[in-house]
Amino acid sequence: MAEEFINPYDMSRLSVAEMNLLEKMSSDSRILRAEIFELRSMLREVIGGSRGNPYAVKNMEEKIRKLKEDLQAEGFKTLEYLVRTGLGLSFKDIYAEIITGIITVGESTADLSLYLGILGPGVTIPSDIARSIESLAEVVEEEAKKFEELLTSLNINPKAAPGNAAEIEKLEEQADEIYRALMPSIVKGLSKSPETMLPIMEIVERLEGISDTIWRLSVYLKYVAMHRV
């Protein structure tokens, strides 16, 4: 469909515009999911307990940066589409918030990879801390997967959307539990190595922040879905 101004009183064309918008948002969420997947792979390479491969870590960091740039480019195109076609959409402001939220999560993910690069492959940290960080990253990746499914369900089966949002909420609660247990462990286990502790704390803080943001965006979508059933 051409990206043109749509009369806000033409309800049939508004419906098509909204479907196209949701498809674009779903496409953006797939890029985000790929970026978070790559981040988790980089995390395993850095804190996985082996010496790690510095070339692999560098390549992952570059790939994450490229995915962030792709997400920014596509996300701004989605925003432009919303501006061009969404004047009459009831939830245009919510959609704008979600689109910018997706872009922000992608930027935070790329920033997080910089801290992993600072640590470098094979950094030595207590195994219990490493396992907890990997568990947190796993939950965040699952949230990104469920968020993509939630966006897709809005066009295919809106009745399923609240259930998908509830799953994301449960995952966010898991992430919060891991985070609250992890922070004191980091201080206790790494206080004598501030050059390691500070990047690790930043990584954990950003993972928890990404989890919170995905959950918040899923709540917006849940309420949109309630009006599409």
Residue 55 lies in a domain: yes
Can you say how many angstroms the Cα of residue 176 is from the centroid of all Cα atoms in its chain? 16
Residue 2 lies in a domain: no
Judge contact between 74 and 27, C-beta under 8 A: yes
Residue 124 lies in a domain: yes
Residue 3 lies in a domain: no
User: What are the tokens at 151?
Assistant: 């966006």
Q: CA 200, CA 119: separation in Å to the nearest integer? A: 8
List, in order, residues 6 or more apart from 126 with CB less than 8 Å away: 185, 189, 190
Q: How far is CA 33 from CA 50, 138, 143, in A?
A: 26, 12, 9
List, in order, residues 6 or more apart from 214 with CB less than 8 Å away: 105, 140, 143, 144, 147, 168, 172
Domain total in the chain: 1
Instruction: Note down the domain range covering 20.
Output: 11-226
Q: Can you give the pLDDT of all 229 residues of the chain as single tens digits?
A: 444 444 443 433 447 888 899 999 999 999 999 999 999 999 999 997 666 688 889 999 999 999 999 999 999 999 999 998 877 788 899 999 999 999 999 999 999 999 999 998 878 899 999 999 999 999 999 999 999 999 998 888 888 888 999 999 999 999 999 999 999 999 999 999 999 999 999 999 999 999 999 999 999 999 888 876 5
User: What are the tokens at 212?
Assistant: 């919170």
* pLDDT tens per residue across span 29-72: 999 999 999 999 999 999 976 666 888 899 999 999 999 999 99
Q: CA 98, CA 157: separation in Å to the nearest integer? A: 19
Residue 1 lies in a domain: no
In the chain, % of residues over pLDDT 90: 72
Q: What CATH number is given to the structural domain containing 34?
A: 1.20.58.220
Residue 5 lies in a domain: no
